[in-house]
Amino acid sequence: MKPLSANDIESELSYAYLHAVAAKAGVGCKVGSRHDDNAGIDAELTGWGPFPGGGYREEIDIKVQLKATVQPPTDHGDFWSYSLKGINRYNDLRTEAVSTPRLLVVLFLPADPADWLALDDDALILRKCAYWASLRGAKPSTNATAQTVYLPKGQRFDPDGLLALMTRLSRNDIPRYQEFAE
């Protein structure tokens, strides 16, 4: 058996990050099947209410497309930019014709693989963090292979942010893509 490639390791670390955040938030996390992957879904999160300051829904599902990169994001003030490869994935995430909200979650890793993970008797540390964006309602792409998307810096994918998102969804407030104006 061949060892995992650097891209495979990045991908596996994004799953580990997703699971850790979901577990800390008390949210279920299930890896998608091959069929889900074909539809651009890597994992599904399920949260159960009541949510802090929540609404009327007591069970919330979110479908997630995970990405990981060692490319440093470009800083655009309140946003980070990320080049999402695969226009089909972009279209899967931007569609409004689905009932379950979909998120893009991008884990930004350090450039040096030696810095990705550290551990000792007191801590397990996965360096850097992930941000999320809803691409729901985003404009069609004019590119054939990739689309630059913008991730709000205020949407760090962490336990508190995930619970805030679940609360928002419990009120049937589905996030839409925040267009970036240069």
- Give per-10-residue mean pLDDT for the chain (182 aa): 90 96 97 70 95 88 96 94 94 93 97 93 93 96 94 96 95 91 65
CATH fit for domain 6-170, picks 3.40.50, 3.30.420, 3.40.1350, 3.30.70 = 3.40.1350
Q: What is the pLDDT of residue 34?
A: 63
- pLDDT computed for residue 1 by the predictor: 82
Residue given tokens 């890896």 in the structure block? 31
CA distance 62 to 165: 10
- Spacing of C-alpha 144 from chain mean position: 23
pLDDT for res 180: 76
Euclidean distance between CA atoms 101 and 158, whole angstroms: 18
pLDDT for the residue numbered 54 = 78
pLDDT value, residue 52:
82
pLDDT, position 51: 87
Whole-number pLDDT of residue 182: 62
Determine contact, residues 68/10, Cβ cutoff 8 Å.
yes
Q: What is the predicted pLDDT for the residue at 179?
A: 82
- pLDDT at res. 35: 55
DSSP the chain: -PPPPHHHHHHHHHHHHHHHHHHHHT-EEEE--HHHHHTT--EEEEEES--TT--S-SEEEEEEEEEEESSPPEEETTEEEEEEE-HHHHHHHH-SS-SS-EEEEEEE--SSGGGSEEE-SS-EEE-S-EEEE--TTPPPPS-SSEEEEEEETT-B-SHHHHHHHHHHHHTT----------
Q: How far are the Cα atoms of 39, 71, 148 from residue 141, in angstroms, in the given order? A: 18, 22, 9
